[in-house]
Structure 1
Amino acid sequence: MFRTVRRLPLFKVIAVLQLALLARRHLGALTPADRRRAAHLIRRSRNLTPAERHELIDIASKLEPRAFAGAMADKLSPVPLPGRVTGRGSRSKTSRSR
């Protein structure tokens, strides 16, 4: 494993570490009970009841997948991304002037 890491350019190693820290931050939004329940449901994923599927979806929504994807894209993009993609600086429709 360390041979592979040594062969990677430094910027790729940094990018991987930044994404790992970002994922850790989003996983931190779950309580330990939520993490245990999600792990249990994922292990049984082929045989879930409709109620269990909804429970897994509810747990996954706490991770804010859209915000995670936007933040990840922002980390990997060589140019600044608009706020609507990253979740930063977006204004509500009522506050926009015409």
Structure 2
Amino acid sequence: MVFIFVTFAWLLFKLPEFSHVILYLQAMLHNLGKNSDVKKNIIILVYSFPVMAYHFNGYLREKGLDSITQKYKYVFYGMMLFLLILNSGTTADFIYFQF
């Protein structure tokens, strides 16, 4: 409950005008039928794969099946590090600096 409130309250600080907040919320609710860009979706999948693999490795470790993934552990760490370095997107000011 607190997380949902904080998430919506964050929009008030991040977006410059209240009308942008309304448009953002409308886009979240009514943007389901829009065509998506396949190239962007593939990029999202590429960047999210190492994180999902890391969590899957943790799941296997809890179940005692981590011997399979131990030999590939550093490959996944390397992939995550490579993608972090490769992603040189724009930096935005930290939200708390806006006060």
**TM-score, normalised on structure 1?**
0.33
**TM-score, normalised on structure 2?**
0.33
